[in-house]
Structure 1
Amino acid sequence: MYELLDAATRARPDAVVVTSPGGQTTYAELSASVQAIATALVERGERRIAVLLTEPAEVLAVLAACSRIGVEACVYPLAATDEAVDEMVRRFEHEVVVTDRTGLGSPVVAFGALTSVAPGPLPELPESRPIMAMTTGTSGFPRGVRHEWDRLLRAVRKIKPAPDHRWLLAYGLNQFGGLQILIHVLAAQAQLVAATSFQPRDALGAMRESGVTHASGTPTFWRFLLAEMASDGGPVPGLRQVTLGGEAVPGALLDRLRERFPDAHLSQIYGATEFGQNVTVRDGRPGLPISMLEPGGDVQFKVTDGELWVLSKASMLGYHGEEAVPEGSWRATGDLVEVVGDRIEFRGRKTDVVNVGGVKVHPIPVEDRVSKVAGVSLVRAYGRPNPMVGHVLAVEIVLEPGFEESVVAREVREACADLPPPARPRSIKFLETMSTTGNKMLRGAAR
């Protein structure tokens, strides 16, 4: 990452790299901070640190400095409580937390204390330059995923300078999606735009105010954003690129995005923190093209017993505290798929399958069908406990403004009438909003 910043600074020193509620930061200003931070970390002798900072420019500066001197950094989620942060420090064995937060029981150093150090000579580039990312923790306590910067940056050679691009930050920087956006912005010598929060309402405001041209977010984020646009009636952002990733992408959502942003290119990215890189699909269709199953390339796929497996040249080194993963190892993704014609269609996560009287029901196809009903803004299908058959399928729905619950419920039942009986929703519940984590829909039992 340091080399990307150095190249962008030499090419466009006075250009803005980050716009946020805290102000704007140029490439030259960011580079100066990186030199000071790297010097300070060398003087302190730190080897493994945590990062908990609100300003994206500060996070970017710490990550770039660490990549220069071989210090392993890990970004913590801003929403974590003090107790959760202290537990992460204990589990991940971090020496210090770079943060401006007070009240932590763990050793801390303020960002300002690092940038106030006079830049000095730095050692030669180390042979190993590690970084640790975190899983989202949707199925338990987050895990630390160990990577090397050199492997993560293999794909940036394909990114050409695009200084007029303004990318919205719609992922937390503790998420792999957020890290990928940082890498892309630096490689493209572009600008990152951050809102006051990751809530769609704030994101929409930042899009309009800062002239965002490119945005990447989860399908859940885009559903909420479309609902926000429908309710406030404000101007449509002039997006040139809409990217979705992190969850299965239903065809109905692609249709709505295409209608709302007719001048934007639609892309899907498929990846995970463990992969180390993403696969991009630009044909505007849900799922992956079957050509992805052909051998060769930086990322290879295969389907075994209905589950997608991946082999990535940028794959993780392993989880923190566990044995290293042998290079060249295939990895189960946990995503259930079905090859239909020329497409690999997603059916849901293995952990999301609902067992209805011995019949396995995948919630994603049901959600896709329900989402096409007029008036449905958000939908989630899940298994509700039932004493007779173990579980029955239920759905939760958030309505668009102006639609009646009874009418939509009737049309949902009609839309699902030709499904096998176990896949027909047995209950329909209407909510004001949906529970999310990291702008992803919370799965499992009713929330």
Structure 2
Amino acid sequence: MGLDLTPGDDTPLVARGEALFTRGDIRARADDLSAAITERGVSRVLVRSDDSALIFEAIDACDRAGADLFIAHTTIAQDRIEAICAEHGIGLVLNGELDWRSTTQTPADGRIYMMTSGTTGMPKVAGHSLESLLAKAKAGVKRRPDQGGRWVLTYQPTGFAGIQVSLTAALWGGLLITPAERTIGGFYHVSRHWNGTHISGTPTFWRSFLMVADPTQLSLAQITLGGEAADQPTLDRIRKAFPDTRVTHTYASTEAGVVYAVHDGLEGFPAAWLESAPSGVALRIKDGFLQIKTPNMMSGYLSAASQPLQDDGWLATADLVELAGDRVKVLGRDDNTINVGGSKVYPLPVEALILKQDGVIEARVYGQPNPVTGALVAADVVLEAGADEKTARKAILTACREALPAYSVPRSLNFVDKIAVSAANKKG
């Protein structure tokens, strides 16, 4: 049934800055776009924009025209976009204008193609159906009484998490709120201006948001963390700031779709889920990595030399995990592991330990090249205004030395004003 946008419906769907776009507005634009796609016989369309109204228009129009839709991040370089268009027979590029392309048409297969970031090369393209993307939201509509809502979009609108939040808001009859400027101040402004009730964001986003937000000025019914592994200090800070708000952290990816949601306020997920996970999902640990089976995962990469789908149907992730008592904890991605003289250091547990210390509001742990050991552990730390660096340094190093093996203790500890984040509100 798709987005089920009704002609003439004056219910607001997207707030961008202080402007409103109704469901009827977007349906009317989608009608025109669908007709143009059909008239020109285009089978594949690519949208490259952070305008959520345009993304909704493209999803609805392509669904009704029977065309495939490729959703590309605005941060992907233009030459890579051109290569994708040429390789996959894109007949129309939407970027605020209609950029029609003369190309050999590839038959449509009813897919929405999501892309990875492409920061280290050509982005990988994962195929989903609109129904699979809508499945989690549809299940929520049946379960939850709080349909509607005003959803603040902090994720990249073109990323999997951003599309999931957008589709959920649309399916639940809610309002999707996007700032004129994607800054922490911008998110806080629109959250207050439109009285946001649902905010989803990375743990990195939430640590920054808590620096500027006055909880008494917000009316949040739901807080969700995703896009990065949720650490216990951040979960505890959110609970302290918003004691009456439901807090959830999720695991999802471009390849796997939405896998699970945890509501108990603890990092990781219950070890019992390795035997029986919710919602038809299967989870296992193999060689230290999380592997997944879920009905909503991708059909595969459109073109890639190495597929993460195993012969037995499991999806191999790059996320390292450990079984700790009755909990499975995410240690971080394999490509972030620091090799110190042959010993592996996972940044996330070190960051979590630093974040527990008084006065620390953000931390980034990374490898610093060293001619003897290959790398040493380094940390950049942001302190609260007025915190004493000497006292904080002593507390951080003491805590690390007491809790960590010697090779995991930061040898370089730098106090900085801020830590750079990507367009997806993740630490680099």
Would you say same fold, with TM above 0.5? yes
**What is the aligned partner in structure 2 of residue 210 from structure 1?**
194
Deviation at 1:328, TM superposition (A): 6.2
Partner of 1:113: none
Please list every run of 5 or more consecutive structure 1 residues that lacks an aligned counterpart in the other structure: 102-106, 111-125
Instruction: Report the Cα offset of residue 262 of structure 1.
Output: 1.6
Q: What does residue 165 of structure 2 align with?
A: 181
Picking from 386, 409, 416, the partner of 1:424 is 409
- 8 Å CA contact 1:247–1:440 kept in 2: the answer is no
Q: Distance in 1 between matches of 2:119 and 2:391?
A: 34
The partner residue of 1:34 within 30, 33, 41 is 30
Specify which of 267, 281, 286 is matched with residue 286 of structure 1.
267
Does residue 420 of structure 2 align to residue 435 of structure 1? yes
Alignment: residue pair count: 416
Question: What is the alpha-carbon distance in structure 2 between the residues aligned to residue 199 and residue 298 of structure 1?
Answer: 37
Q: How does 1:232-243 map to 2 (within 5 A)?
A: 236-243=217-224
Matches for 1:249-264 after TM superposition, within 5 Å: 249-264=230-245
Q: Deviations over 1:80-105 (max 9, x none)?
A: 4544543543455422211236xxxx
> Counterpart of 1:119?
none
Are 2:367 and 2:378, in contact at CA under 8 Å, matched by a contact in 1?
A: yes
1:367 aligns with 2:367: no
Q: From the superposition, tell whether residues 368 and 307 of structure 1 become closer, same or farther in structure 2 (CA, over 3 Å).
A: same
Q: Distance in 1 between matches of 2:227 and 2:176?
A: 20
Task: Find out whether 1:245 has 2:230 as its counterpart.
Answer: no
Question: SS in structure 2 opposite 1:73?
Answer: strand
1:243-284 CA-to-partner distances (Å, cap 9, x unmatched) read: 001111110000111111122110011011101233111111
**Counterpart in the other structure of 1:339:** 323
What secondary structure sits across from 1:416 in the alignment?
A: helix
Identity over the aligned pairs, expressed in percent? 31
Q: Specify the SS of the correspondent of 2:182.
A: coil
Amino acid at match of 1:166: R
Matched, 1:300 2:282: yes
**Residue equivalent to 1:122:** none
SS state at 1:239 partner? coil
Q: 1:55 aligns with which of 46, 51, 58?
A: 51
Q: Distance in 2 between matches of 1:304 and 1:84?
A: 34
SS in 1 for 2:133: helix
Checking the alignment, whether the CA contact within 8 Å between 1:49 and 1:97 is kept in structure 2 is yes
The Cα of 1:29 is off from its aligned counterpart by: 2.1
8 A Cα contact 1:289 1:342, kept in partner: yes
User: 1:68 is aligned with what amino acid?
Assistant: R
Q: CA deviation at 1:30?
A: 2.0
Kindly indicate whether the alpha-carbon contact (under 8 Å) linking 1:218 and 1:440 is maintained by their aligned counterparts in 2: yes
Which of 287, 296, 305 aligns to 1:314? It is 296
> What's the CA shift for 1:425?
0.7
Name the counterpart of 1:94: 90
* 2:3 alignment partner AA: L
Instruction: Tell me how far 1:109 sits from its aligned partner.
Output: 5.0
Residue type of the partner of 2:99?
V
- Aligned counterpart, 2:104: none
Shift of 1:77: 2.0
CA distance in 2, matches of 1:303, 1:363: 20
Instruction: Quote the residue 1:69 is aligned against.
Output: 65
Q: Does 1:380 align with 2:364?
A: yes
| Aligned match for 1:133, one of 111, 114, 120 | 114
Structure 1 residues 240 and 49, CA gap change in structure 2 (3 angstroms): same
Q: Secondary structure at the match of 2:249?
A: strand
After superposition, the C-alpha distances for 1:150-186 in whole angstroms (9 at most, x for unaligned) are 3333333322274540000111121000110122112
**Any stretches of 5+ residues in structure 2 without a counterpart?**
102-106
With 305-314 and 13-22 compared, the bigger mean Cα shift is at 13-22
Distance 2:78 2:321 in 1: 39
1:267 equivalent to 2:263? Answer no
CA contact (8 A) 2:256 2:297 kept: yes
Question: What letter matches 1:337 in structure 2?
Answer: V
Q: Distance in 2 between matches of 1:145 and 1:294?
A: 28
CA separation of 1:142 and 1:361: change in aligned 2, threshold 3 A: same
Q: CA deviation at 1:51?
A: 0.8
Asked whether the 8 Å contact 1:129–1:148 carries over to 2, the reply is yes
Distance 1:187 1:278, change over 3 A: farther
C-alpha distance in 2, partners of 1:127/1:73? 9
Cα distance change on mapping 1:21 and 1:287 into 2, 3 Å = same
Q: 1:432 to 1:81 in 2, by over 3 A?
A: farther
- TM-score normalized by the length of structure 2: 0.90
Of the structure 1 ranges 38-47 and 16-25, higher mean CA displacement relative to structure 2 is found in 16-25
The answer on 1:25 being equivalent to 2:9 is: no
**Aligned twin of 2:99:** 108
Please tell me whether the aligned partners of residues 397 and 429 of structure 1 are also in contact (alpha carbons under 8 angstroms): yes
**Alignment CA distance shift 1:87-1:375 (3 Å):** farther
Task: Please provide the CA RMSD for this pair.
Answer: 2.5
C-alpha contact 1:5 1:31 (8 A) present in aligned 2: no
